[in-house]
A and B are shown apart, each in its own frame.
Chain A
Amino acid sequence: MYAQMVKSTGKGVQSLEDMSPEERAFQERIDRGEKIEPKEWMPDGYRKTLVRQIGQHAHSEIVGQLPEGNWITRAPTLERKAILLAKVQDEAGHGLYLYCAAETLGVSRDELLEKLHSGDMKYSSIFNYPTLNWADIGAVGWLVDGAAIMNQVPLQRTSYGPYSRAMIRICKEESFHQRQGYDIMMKMAFGTEEQKDMAQDALNRFWYPSLMMFGPSDKDSVHSAQSMAWKIKINTNDELRQKFVDQTVPQAKYLGLTIPDENLKWNEEKGGYDFSEPDWTEFFEVIKGNGPCNKERLGARVKAWDDGAWFRDGLMAHAEKQSAAKLAAE
């Protein structure tokens, strides 16, 4: 998802009997539904996995601003421009909430950013796809934020207090994102023939990358099992992907658009749709850095960081001077 393929550090889930007394007490707190707070004891693996997951999630929010920011100056009306601006601004806030949550675990924001810029840490594969035209902005809000919501809603119940509170705040803002996207899609799908074609084309290009957001099947993964025991992952990737498909198909139908999957079929028995898996080879290529926009996205991030250094330093120098002057006056 926004955090894809996060590896936990343990060797898999231990039974309560095999745990040290500290670990057992910790696991029992989680099982009781208690929240873990920053200064409290936690296993090393729990802390490390959380830093990776929250960090990757934060990076995704920030890098996720780029494909949409690309269209702010070219939005078709002033109203659409104001809406998109507000949406992209929210994403900056989401990044901030999450970096702050990660910082409670003993890393600094600058450290996390360094790891993003050096390629040590990843962001979601979805943001390595281009937004070619205005219909893509509709598809991103509808599908990408829609998929993000699928993942973020259950994470409001995650065991780590600061992460859970950040997710609650984010979820409150997220449904505006999806609705503004769907609103663009409605406008286009019910517009001229040409607009409808653009909407269909955007759906065609974003469908499988959106399904990839949930990550490959992890039903047999020891990392996921550990993360689920710690309640830093609530559902399997397949569960969330299925929910997303089931929710999205009727929405596409309403728009009169076709999901680009010949195998899409209602399955009465499971009470959900059967659908085709995305091309996982493509996914792994994108993760490795070979997607259509990886270089551009990371390049834009690094440039913004480097170009902003004089400004960050300047404000810091000013603040230090002010506080020294204040001290001297006292």
Chain B
Amino acid sequence: MKKEWPLWEVFIRGQHGLNHRHVGSLHAPDAEMAIKNARDVYTRRNEGVSIWVVEANNITASSPSDKGPLFEPSNSKVYRHPTFFDIPEEVGHM
């Protein structure tokens, strides 16, 4: 038969209150095994309190060549940052 196990991307919540973060990938036949393998490979030293796995071919990624059109427009929008505005000291904390 010979069929390679699909690739899964692994996301781990390091501590309560934090986001899940991508930590790497692995091969597994199904989601359940992917979670088990992820636990064995990526949390051997208390690295996490929760695991997500997503089959890699279910992820849609932006293309590197779209970097300009996607992200450059926000460069010029400096007013989106609070530091753009000067608030007089007398006003107090804002």
Q: How far is the CA of A67 from the CA of B24 in the complex (A)?
A: 27
Q: In the bound complex, do residue B1 and residue A313 qualify as a contact, i.e. CB atoms below 8 Å apart?
A: yes
Query: Given A37-B64, A109-B27, A322-B30, A316 and B3 touching (CB < 8 A)?
Result: yes
Q: How far is the CA of A322 from the CA of B33 in the complex (A)?
A: 13
Residues on the A chain within 8 Å of B64, using CB: 37, 39-41
One of A39, A108, A315 near B61 (C-beta < 8 A): A39
From A71-79, A93-101, A261-269, A279-287, give the one contacting chain B: A93-101
* CB-based nearest B residue for A312: B5
Counting contact residues on chain A (CB < 8 A from B), the size range is 20 to 34
Query: Given A90-B44, A108-B4, A109-B4, A315 and B29 touching (CB < 8 A)?
Result: yes
Interface presence of B41 (CB below 8 A) = yes
* B1-35 CB contacts (< 8 Å) to partner A: 1-5, 7, 24-27, 29-30, 33
Taking chain A's interface residues, is the majority helix, strand, or loop, or is none over half, making it mixed? Answer: helix
Q: In the bound complex, do residue B3 and residue A93 qualify as a contact, i.e. CB atoms below 8 Å apart?
A: no
* CB-based nearest B residue for A86: B44
Interface presence of A303 (CB below 8 A) = no
Q: Mark A292-330, 1 if CB is under 8 A from B, else 0.
A: 000000000000000001001101111100110000000
Q: How far is the CB of A247 from chain B (nearest CB, A)?
A: 25
Q: How far is the CB of B7 from chain A (nearest CB, A)?
A: 7
Interface presence of B74 (CB below 8 A) = no
Q: How far is the CA of A222 from the CA of B5 in the complex (A)?
A: 38
Q: How far is the CB of B10 from chain A (nearest CB, A)?
A: 10
Q: Mark B32-65, 1 if CB is under 8 A from A, else 0.
A: 0100000011001100000000000000010110
Residues on the B chain within 8 Å of A96, using CB: 26, 41
Q: How far is the CA of A28 from the CA of B3 in the complex (A)?
A: 41
Q: How far is the CB of B55 from chain A (nearest CB, A)?
A: 11
Q: In the bound complex, do residue A318 and residue B29 qualify as a contact, i.e. CB atoms below 8 Å apart?
A: yes
Q: How far is the CB of A308 from chain B (nearest CB, A)?
A: 12
Q: In the bound complex, do residue B44 and residue A313 qualify as a contact, i.e. CB atoms below 8 Å apart?
A: no
Residues on the A chain within 8 Å of B25, using CB: 100, 103
Q: How far is the CB of A297 from chain B (nearest CB, A)?
A: 23
Q: Which positions in A face B, CB cutoff 8 Å?
A: 37, 39-41, 86, 89-90, 93, 96-97, 100, 103, 108-110, 165-166, 169, 173, 309, 312-313, 315-319, 322-323
Can you list 14 pairs linking A and B with CB atoms under 8 Å apart?
A37-B64, A39-B63, A40-B64, A41-B64, A96-B41, A97-B24, A100-B25, A103-B7, A315-B29, A316-B1, A316-B3, A316-B5, A319-B29, A319-B33
